Structures are given as structure tokens and as C-alpha cells.
Amino acid sequence: MTIDLLKDLNPAQRKAAEAISGPILILAGPGSGKTRVITYRIAYLVRTVGVNPHRILAVTFTNKAAREMRERLERLLAGSVKDMTLGTFHAICAGILRRDGEAIGIQREFVIFDADDQEKLLKQAAADANVDPKQYPVGKITAAISSAKSQMTTPEKFRENARNYFDEIVARVYERYEKMLRQNNAVDFDDLLLKTVFLFKRHPEILKRYQERYVHLLVDEFQDTNLVQYELVKLLAGRHRNVAVVGDPDQSIYSWRAADLRNVFNFERDFPDAQIYYLEQNYRSTAKILQVASSVIADNRARKDIKLWTENEPGDPVCLLEAYNEQEEAQMVVREAERLTGSKKYRLSDIAVMYRTNAQSRALEEAFIRYGVPYKLVAGTRFYERREVKDLIAYFRLIHNPADSVSLMRIINVPTRGLGEKSIVEMQAWARGRGLSLFEALEASSTAVDKPPLTARALASFDIFYKLIQGFIEDSRQMPFLEFFDRVLERSGYQAYLKVQPDGEERLENIAELRTVAEPFNGLPPGEALSPFLESVSLVSDLDNLDETEGGVTLITLHQAKGLEFPVVFIVGLEEGVLPHFRSFDDPAQMEEERRLCYVGVTRAKRRLYLLRAFRRSLMGGSTVNEPSRFLEAIPSNLTTEAVSPNEPVQPLIPLQKKLYQYAERPPQAQAAQVSKSAAPGLSRTHVRPSAPAYKTGDQVRHPVFGDGVVISTLPVKDDHEIVVSFKDRGLKKLLLSFAKLEKT
């Protein structure tokens, strides 16, 4: 039975799976089959050793990993998994608190507050504690409290250890926040772990019950545990000491989530009799990719020396590419993706593009859209769909077109202006009753005899907003565009609003990236830049859903890529200040984490790896020339090439609008046959009402400014028509027909 069950494991994996007694540390390199070992180890305990599944606790770091492990075990054990405790730390602790939390005052019906709930409660707690949110942003207080909880520091202890006035402020809010959580019978995500530790320490009889039940404890991704999670592991393993932890210090990349790399090293200190097993055979990558990965990570000091090796083929050299700027970098990626898929050796879904920060996706997204190559953004929001980007664009759209009530409704209370939903509904009803747009109603309400049925305070708030937008309208006609951009961001209060959000820094980076998009329009005369800027942004937004299929190239941050693998990987932005990030320059520990992040990216690649950098990069509102990343310097030259494919010619990229132009010129029969294979099928599906104008898809037209073009689509909009035209020299433009001044050619 044992041979039958473990026959597919290599010798190192088998030893780790068969070691069943005492503490065990399994150091597993990327692609070494660690999840397979954990799964087979559990199956071995049940089928061969005879351990009751009820006595096993297995901890994963994501619900997805837990589901996959359960599915594998169900196949191996044929239904013996249902009595096993298998899940994330948070899910397991929630179950413990449901059963036994009353011992520390947590009722069974408690609710778990998510990040939004937590933010609202902390804002109220700060207000109750008389804390000025402008001087002490709630986002910073939130981070401080979360950090305190991850270090098992209570409000009382935090106050005792306060080192400065900010700590005293945090202590006041922390105490009030905890009281409000109790009043709401609620816990936050940090509490799920922390309260379970408190429960076990304050009630040893409850801890003893769980210790007796769980004879075997297994923990995956141990390098990502924080202090509270490690304390839980030690408490639960305190009786039988049959605890197996699996991890790789070289893949610890979540210190910003309070993950503590030292837990891997402390395990040997706390369990001096621990058996250590190394899983070093990699089944994922080619030999050259592994050699590059080993070169990158070698300079780190806080690591275990895991010597990766493989029986896979040597593979192609890793390709190093230098572009002039981020646009050319993105074009290189798209060109190579088209070449690889054109060779029929790879599919688009085989390819991933990885980057350090979310803001870097913008140039990539625009290139994939422009050249009609399908893509998908993983575990994130597309650049032009991110809330802060949409909010600021809504301001600009309302300034450009005050009749745009959709944009007005999006931002009328963002940031908050003391306008409740009831007040806004009343104003909408008052506007409808008089046949006014909502913006017109805001103007009229201040002078009308029969004012809206609102409080004087609400009417004043509406008037302030109206005057704000009216002032921006005047500014847009007089200021250079970037100066106007900055004026809106500042005077609307939106910049200050973002600064106090928990994720404000990243969101401000995205706003700075939007400013980069605005830069090319700065040379236009005041009053003439806003319209083309919004036109270009609207076009990208409309085409952002282009070919949202499973076959798209994956765009993903390096942090999100952990645990994934792809036949082809591009890592972009390998420059000093980007990867490694500039915030790590003065912190050796953070620099080591940046190196681990690069290592994680490299080891996601199975067959082909491309490392790209730009000579000049416009990012976060500025343009800089950066040195090549120090991580590139660590790679031996014999493992790399600067030629994409010396034996194949470079294919020219064809922009999407040209593809569509060529498509529109074909006979109707050819068009119909091509629709299912079009790079942008959404543009050929426009439903035109019978009252459509005398323009149809494929018509040749001329515009007094944009020149010659071809009609791509028409769409009824109220009493007008929106027409999309692909101009030979100016690309795609979206126009209102009544203003377009088009003529057929």
C-alpha cells in the first residue's frame, strides 16, 4: 500500500512524506512539488499509518489552495476528507471562535468586518476620540492598529509602550475602536487570529481540547506567517509536537502584510529536534531559467541555501531587452507575443507579463488594445476601471459637459460633502419636475422661489459643489492642461481624500499615471485640450473589454503571480527605482525582499523568460532615466541573449485601427466570414436602429481636422448618433454626428 501510494514521489519527496513523528521543516524550492508532498503526506497518514482524518489539521494561505488540496485528497482517500480540518488560518480561527469565543466575550453570532466596514468604524472611532483626520489620517491609524494586532499588542499595552504623540493618538483610537467592535459584536480580520490566541492563553482547558484533538498539524507557505500565526502553530502543536511546516525563505514577499521571514529560522530554535528536508528538484523550468534565478537570489543573506536543479532541458537563453521608454517596452512585449503565437508553439494564455506596481499596467494595456491582442488583468482592476481613475475622469467629464448627470452623480459626494442619499434623491426629483438637468437644478435651486424641500445645510452644500464645478469650467478655458489637471485634483479635495485612505499611496500612484496620460495634450491651447483628452480616454475605456476571453495574455503584478506558472514570462521594468523599488534603497531588509520578488517572477517561467527595461520611463507623473536593475547585473552573460530570435525576421506590428480599416474595406461576404475572428469583435456588433443616419460601417468619410477615415460603427445616443471612425493618420475617434462635420468620399 505504501509503495502504491508514494510511488510517483522522488526520493526527497518520499522522505518528507514518510516522516510522521515530531517537528518537521520542509524547505521546498519553487516548482519542487511541495503541494503534492503535503497532499501525499496527509494521504499517507490516513491510509498507511491509520490516523483518523478528524485528528489532522492542515493550514493553507488561500481558500483556493484549500479547495484544490481537498479535491486532491478526495481523489486519494475516496471520501475520508470530510472530517479533516483544512482551510486558511482565518477560516479555522473563525470556526474556533464560533464554538468557544463566548469564553472571552465574543458571541456566537459575531460578524466579521471587512476593510470597508473597518474603515467606517475607525473613522467614527477617530471622531469620537477628537482626532483631526487631516492631521492624523485614518489610513495611517488603521495601519498602526493592524500592525499592533499582528504583534499581539492590546490597546492597553500599546498605550504603555507609546513612544511619541502619534502613538498616543493611535492608542486613543485603538481603545475606542475595540469598544465599538464589542458593541457591534464584531471582529476584524486581524481579530480572528489574535482573539483565538487570547482564547487559548486565557483558557488552557480549551486549548488542551484542541491540542488533544489535533495529533498532526501541517502548515503550507510557512514563510508567509506572521507572529500571531506562528504563535497559533506553537500552541496547537504543544502537546503532540507532530507539526510539519513547508516553506521557502527565498519566496517570502509579503512583509507589508506583516509576514515574518524569521519564523522559518525561529522554527529550528523553538523545535531544536526538528527534522529538515530539502526539496530541490524543480519540475517547472528549464535549466537556464533556474540558473538565472539562482544568480539573482544568491546575494541575499537571510536565506536557506536551497540548490535548485532539474532534469528538464537546458532551454533557450533568457532574453534581455532594452527599450527607449515604457511604450516601446510594451510594443516589444506585444510583438513577441504575436510572434510566439504565430509560430503555433504557444497560445496567448501561455503568456504572462509581470511588473512591480499596478500603475505599470497602463502602458501595457494600451499597447495590447492598440494592436488588438486580447489580454486579461489578474486579481486587479484594469487601469481605466480603477475607482480613483474613474472618479477623476468623472470630474473632467462633468466640467466638459455639465449635462452629464451620470458623472455628476458619481462625484457629487466624493469626497464627502455632507449630502445624504435622501437629499440627492429630492434634488433629482425637483430637477425632473422642472425639466432641468441635475447640474441646471443645482444652479436654479439657489435662486428659485419654490426651493427644493431640503435643509438649508443641504442647499448650501449643493451650491458649493455647483460653484466648484463652475469655477473649474472657467479654469479649463484659461489654464494649460496639466496646470488645470492639478487644480481639479487639489481644489476638488480628491487628492487630500486619497491621502487618508488605507491604500492611498497606490491610488495616488494611479492618479499620477493618469497625469502622464494627460501630458501629450498639454501643448494644446487652453480650452482645446480637455475634449481630445476625454476622447482618448473614452476610447481606451470602451475597448478595454476587447476580447475578454480565456485566450488572452495575462497581465499581473509580481506579488499576485506567487503560486502561478506560465510557459512564457515577461518581466518588465527592471530598472533601479522600479524593481527594486526606490523605497527599498535605504533598507537592506526591504532590498532583500525586492530581490526575492524578482526571484519569484523568474521562477514562474517554464520555457521562455524575457527581462525588459526602459532607458526612460514616465511613471507616477514624472519622466526619469534609470540605471539597469542591479538584479540584471547578477546574471551571468552566458545565460542570456539580447536577440529575440536571430533566425526569424521581426514582424511589424499592425495597429488595431488599421486592422479594422482593412477589414472594413473587404467585400461584405468577407466581412461576415471574418467577424468571428476579428481582433475586436465588439466593434462589429453595434446594433443600429432603423433611424440610423446615412453612414454605415465601411463608409469612406472625410473630417476637416482628422482627414480621411472609415466608419467603424454608429450608435443612437438620445436625439443624436455617436459615430466611431478610424482615421488613417489620427487613429480611432468617437464623434457626435451632429457636430462631426463629416462628408462621404
Please give the positions annotated as active site.
Answer: 34-35, 220-221, 251, 604
- What length does the chain have? 745
Q: Are 395 and 492 in contact (CB under 8 A)?
A: yes
Cis peptide leading into residue 580 (ω within 30°): yes
CA–CA dist 723, 37 (Å, integer): 59
Beta strands in 176-263 (DSSP E): 186-187, 216-219, 243-247
H helices of 343-434, in order, are: 361-370, 387-400, 405-411, 421-433
| Beta sheet of 700-703, edge-to-edge order | 731-736, 720-727, 707-717, 700-703, 743-744
CA–CA dist 245, 254 (Å, integer): 18
CA–CA dist 648, 643 (Å, integer): 10
Residue 28 in marked binding region: yes
3-state helix, strand, coil in the chain (%, to 5): 50, 15, 35
Q: Are 248 and 282 in contact (CB under 8 A)?
A: no
For residue 421, how many other CB atoms are within 10 A of its CB?
8
Count CA atoms within 13 Å of residue 698 on its CB side. Answer: 11
Q: Which three cell numbers stand for residue 492?
A: 476638488
Selection from 232, 228, 234, 217 nearest residue 257 by Cα: 228
Selection from 392, 331, 388 nearest residue 358 by Cα: 388
Residue 34 in marked binding region: yes
Q: Are 26 and 218 in contact (CB under 8 A)?
A: no
CA–CA dist 213, 56 (Å, integer): 8
Residue 33 in marked binding region: yes
| Strand 616-619 versus strand 216-219 pairing type | unpaired
Residue 30 in marked binding region: yes
Residues 397, 398, 399, CA angle at the centre, nearest 5°? 90
Residue 573 in marked binding region: no
Q: Are 682 and 696 in contact (CB under 8 A)?
A: no
Q: Please report the sign of the dihedral spanned by the C-alpha atoms of residue 190, residue 195, residue 197, residue 198.
A: positive
Give the H/E segment covering residue 467: helix 456-476
| Strand 318-323 versus strand 640-641 pairing type | parallel
CA–CA dist 174, 141 (Å, integer): 8
Give the H/E segment covering residue 624: strand 622-625
Q: Position 470: which residue type?
A: Q
Give the H/E segment covering residue 613: strand 605-614
CA–CA dist 9, 13 (Å, integer): 6
| Strand 318-323 versus strand 605-614 pairing type | parallel
Q: Give 161-183 as a DSSP string.
A: T--SHHHHHHHHHHHHHHHHHHH
For residue 730, how many other CB atoms are within 10 A of its CB?
16
3-state SS assignment for residue 166: helix
CA–CA dist 651, 645 (Å, integer): 11
| Strand 243-247 versus strand 216-219 pairing type | parallel
Residue 606 in marked binding region: no
Sequence ranges of the binding site = 28-35
Sequence ranges of the binding site for ATP = 28-35
